[in-house]
Amino acid sequence: MSPGLLIYCRPGFEKEAAVEIGAACYREGYAKAKPDSGLVFYVPHDPAVARAPSRHWNELVFARQLIRDARRVDELPTTDRATPLAEAAAALGLRFSDVWLETADTNEAKEMSSFCRKFERPLRDALLRRGLLVNDLRKPRLHVAFLSSATAYVGFADPCDSAPWPMGIPRLRMPRGAASRSTLKLAEALLLFLDERERSEWLRPGLTAVDLGAAPGGWTWQLVRHGLHVTAVDNGELDPRLLADDRVEHIRADGLAFKPKRPVDWLVCDMVEQPARVAACVAGWLAEGRCARAICNLKLPMKKRSEELERCRDIIDDALGGRSYRLAMKQLYHDREEVTVFLQSRR
């Protein structure tokens, strides 16, 4: 099989991921994607694109991971799987900083996780014998994605243009005392969209935030954890532990209609609302100078997800009216039928 681009995505979103990578390759190729498999394999007509795609990983909304120059290896012998996989790695013509053994994020595929743990040492040893693993973090990372114990994709990822976590999944633990599991969505977003300097500068005591649709308070809790003062806007009940914190003010109001008395550093929003209305609301806050930056979730419909997302992009662009802004979108691991958006005004 010709080399291609291998993408990990949320199971059920293979179509959207395939359309997206196809557009990035100017539709000069074809995609192979089994429904609910959590994987998309795109074969461009030009093999060079498989090594250097035109779009970066962080520009792809539905891709958890982007693996380049991936080749499928079939019929791995039970007596020696390491040798043909090491040979496939050598055929890439590179040396690697590390090797990750992975599966798709499905219940069936994750049954392979025990196999991957046991097989990592033999494969690593085979790669070391060939001089393919080196102590240089600037080198690409080798990925071996197992479909079964007899079939795997072998490819590489640029450490500066890929998810820094195996399977593209950050391993976040549910914090003790958090108001709801939704706090993990904001924790992942802050980890993904902001670099270390930005987290230090923009998430510190004394800064202010508004959380629209806050109840029961998972996102408010995450911001307070960083020392921010938060106005939690929701007609529903907030977790009593948050109400006892003097950094939290609960205002009972409609989140889409609320306006702060003075500008804030952050706006966050995880409301169950039409994505177009949320996009218009958040973009309006930035356009009118009510906040410096924002993170929100867009709850996508079951059908025409890509079209709805493009509609929201257009709404944001129209609302900001030619202003300079930074926009990033990603379907996070902790998201479900939604996409998380980061928006920042560039003054």
Angle at 68 between CA 67 and CA 72, to 5 degrees: 85
**Predicted local distance difference test score (pLDDT) of residue 177:** 86
Residue type, 142: L
Q: Is the pTM of this model over 0.75?
A: yes
Task: Determine how many CB atoms are found less than 10 A away from the CB of residue 229.
Answer: 18
Nearest CA-CA partner of 107 in 40, 181, 15, 11: 11
d(CA 207, CA 183): 19
CA 280 to centroid of chain Cα atoms:
23
CA 196 to centroid of chain Cα atoms:
17
Q: Is 55 exposed, middle or buried (0-12, 13-18, 19+ CB in 10 A)?
A: middle
Identify the structural domains of the chain with CATH numbers, from first to last: 4-168 (3.30.2130.30), 183-345 (3.40.50.150)
pLDDT tens-place string over residues 250-296? 999 999 999 999 999 999 999 999 999 999 999 999 999 999 999 99
d(CA 98, CA 133): 6
Residues serving a catalytic function are: 299
pLDDT tens-place string over residues 86-128? 999 999 999 999 999 999 999 998 889 999 999 999 999 999 9
d(CA 327, CA 312): 12
